[in-house]
Amino acid sequence: MSSPSKLYEESGRIKVNVTPGRRLEKVSKEALAEPEKFWAEQARNLVWFKEWDRVLDWKPPFARWFVGGQLNASVNCLDRHVKTDTKNKTAIIWEGESGETRTLSYFQLYRQVNKFANVLKSLGVGKGDRVTIYMPMVPELPIAMLACARIGAIHSVVFSGFSSQALVDRANDAQSKIIITADGGVRKGRLIELKKVVDESLPSIQSIDHVIVLKRAGNEVGMGPRDLWWHDLMEGAKTYCPPEPVESTHPLYILYTSGTTGKPKGVMHGTGGYLTHLYATAKWVFDFNKQDIFFCTADIGWVTGHSYIVYAPLMHGATEIMYEGAPDHPRPDRYWAIVEKHGATILYMTPTALRMYMKYGDVVPNSFDLSSLRLLGTVGEPINPEVWMWYFKTIGKEICPIVDTWWQTETGGIMLSMCTGIETIPMKPGSATFPVPGVDAAVVDENGKPVPPGTKGYIVVRRPWPGMLLTLWGDDEKYKQVYWSKFAGMYYPGDYAMIDQDGYLWLLGRADDVLKVAGHRLGTMELESAFVSHKAIAEAAVTSKPNNTKGESIIAFLVPKEGFTHSDDMRTEIVAHIRNTVGPIATPDEVYFVNKLPKTRSGKIMRRLLKSIACGDKIGDITTLEDGAAIDEVKQAYEDLKKVVRS
């Protein structure tokens, strides 16, 4: 495999507007010299009812931003626009899997949110109450979220692909009063019976007063005594609901992380700090302009959707695309088709979807007009350099910069990324480049000491930032233990990283995914990228099992590309490829070819499951596994994996 920077040089033509890094360096330096002043300037871009008394109250590890300030998230997303030219602008272009579309202007969205806020109020929902939202990707989902925000209620969105146990766990943990759902959702042409899942869950959730059901899929559903139709409630609702001014530190929502590494955690975000972080990062990273049509492909059930479909673009008055459905249904071309149809200018998607599309070659995307695109982004996992190059060349035609954005549910917003709104700098495929201004990230060793360039270590954040989670819902102790106990006074994200000679940051995978082979530490990410750099391999997941002589032995699960059939020869060839590219130390002991890998519903490989399978251990929490409609399929894949591993 060529080194990532070499690949970039080969690819060549990104325009750099000023001396690389100068402007960014200046802004970042100023931000870190006086972070409170810097973030206060950013916070002034929001609409406040009352300005804060103190920018930051930092009682480690609890940070409270803009203390004494009062605002409302729905005012920042809607009311601020309906008094300007943005009033009639399209806020949301929605597309369903079957190709149907709906558009909502800022005013229409504002109207719906106000009415639904009155509906919630009429059902006794007030400030601080929790509302579980279990809905498909339709505009009523952001409407419900913004309506909660309008009255100061705390939303807890549960991804609609989850089944009842996940819903029960989350609604109980949050002690929600209301569940908002729909008669059904659609994925891969199949009906997802959301209301049925809610009905199955209700006997195990004591706190629920009402279930609100949106008619969406034309599915016949039974309505129990607590169940109410969305449209009936909306019919009688008043058109204006005065927004509740909430304290800056008031919780806006709870969101459970995807569970790639263990049991989901109820991440709780505040209002003023969180929105400030989002406003600023959206401006820096995506640099929205009036012509932009932003397509973030995430599901709103994940943080990317919360932050960069709901709150950030709407605060900026941007036009965005919201897509309900699978990226490959009915054909593996949906994102490209949507870009062409609606003229998307910014595409923000995941490496996992890119790998899926790449499997089908260039012909599919080349048959679409993607010329509207001006910027590409990725999020969710490290992007393999090969995949980055494909994105850059085939999708971006070598003229769209790529922003590789590293962040987490816990960080609220983007933490590392190129900031095209500040300056487009030379890119390196697979590097998330630099921290955004005001974020004090570093790479440290086991003892918390910064490591020299080129050395692998743990990424940490040395100072609080506005988007930082307030705590884990109802569990301050766990919050302290998970994020603040590994290194004194530093936030610990749990990822491996490296800073290169030019100061660029490289994320090397999760710290708990690291393998120790004959005394060497090997990152799963590094190994997986090496597998994917082989022409026959679309996706790879690497895990290990204990080995008496060398500590751990490497086990690889590989998904071949379309048109390649696996064979013993191919296995031999791939092992040779790894020995040549990474080194003999990385020789895998077991190589399995599979059709799919176990992933979370957000598309991340659940390596801990592969490890459990490989080691013959009990499989832990699987509520976040890609289940829902696909549960049987995935269970089968499990069994197959087990069979393969044991044979």
- Written as six digits, the tokens of 170 are 């989350």
Alpha carbon distance 398, 409 (integer Å):
31
- Beta strands across the sheet bearing 431-433: 431-433, 505-510, 495-499, 456-461, 441-444
Binding-site member from 534, 604, 607, 611 for ligand ATP (CB under 6 A):
604
**What mask of x and - would describe binding to ligand ATP in positions 480 to 509, judged by CB under 6 A?**
-------------x-x-----------x--
- DSSP symbol at 39: H
Binding-site member from 173, 193, 199, 404 for ligand ATP (CB under 6 A):
404
259 near ligand ATP (CB under 6 A): yes
**For the CA atoms of the chain, what is the radius of gyration?**
24
Binding-site member from 409, 420, 533, 623 for ligand ATP (CB under 6 A):
409
Q: Which is nearer to ligand ATP, 71 or 282 (CB)?
A: 282
Alpha carbon distance 7, 175 (integer Å):
51
Binding-site member from 95, 299, 333, 381 for ligand ATP (CB under 6 A):
381
260 near ligand ATP (CB under 6 A): yes
Q: Which is nearer to ligand ATP, 301 or 588 (CB)?
A: 301
Residue 544 has a CB neighbour count (10 Å cut-off) of 27
Comparing C-alpha atoms, which of 404, 387, 355, 384 is closest to residue 530?
384
CB of 302 to ligand ATP, least distance (A): 6
Cite the DSSP H helix spans in 442-567: 476-484, 524-532
Q: Which is nearer to ligand ATP, 118 or 524 (CB)?
A: 524
**What mask of x and - would describe binding to ligand ATP in positions 290 to 329, judged by CB under 6 A?**
------------xx--------------------------
Comparing C-alpha atoms, which of 120, 488, 80 is closest to residue 275?
80
Residue 616 has a CB neighbour count (10 Å cut-off) of 10
CB of 64 to ligand ATP, least distance (A): 22
CB of 597 to ligand ATP, least distance (A): 14
User: How many angstroms from the chain centroid is the CA of residue 157?
Assistant: 14
380 near ligand ATP (CB under 6 A): yes
- Written as six digits, the tokens of 596 are 């799919």
CB of 600 to ligand ATP, least distance (A): 6
Task: With contacts defined by CB under 6 A, name the span among 195-203, 205-213, 278-286, 374-382 that binds ligand ATP.
Answer: 374-382
The partner residues of 211 in beta bridges, in order of sequence, read: 179, 227
524 near ligand ATP (CB under 6 A): no
Q: Which is nearer to ligand ATP, 214 or 527 (CB)?
A: 527
Binding-site member from 43, 432, 499, 594 for ligand ATP (CB under 6 A):
432
Tell me which residue has tokens 């899997």.
Answer: 97
Q: Which is nearer to ligand ATP, 39 or 302 (CB)?
A: 302
**Contact (CB, 8 A) for 64 and 36:** no
CB of 265 to ligand ATP, least distance (A): 6
Burial of 551 (0-12, 13-18, 19+ CB in 10 A): middle
# of chain residues touching ligand ATP (CB under 6 A)? 26
Q: Which is nearer to ligand ATP, 142 or 523 (CB)?
A: 523
**What's the CA dihedral at 528, 534, 535, 538 to 10 degrees?**
-10
612 near ligand ATP (CB under 6 A): no
Cite the DSSP H helix spans in 62-155: 73-74, 80-82, 106-122, 140-151
Q: Which is nearer to ligand ATP, 91 or 532 (CB)?
A: 532
CB of 173 to ligand ATP, least distance (A): 14
Q: What angle do CA 436, 59, 413 make, to 5 degrees?
A: 25
Instruction: Give the CB-side neighbour count of residue 236, counting CA atoms within 13 A.
Output: 8
Task: With contacts defined by CB under 6 A, name the span among 5-13, 194-202, 292-300, 378-386 that binds ligand ATP.
Answer: 378-386
Binding site for ligand ATP (CB under 6 A): 257-262, 264, 302-303, 379-382, 404-409, 432, 493, 495, 507, 510, 602, 604
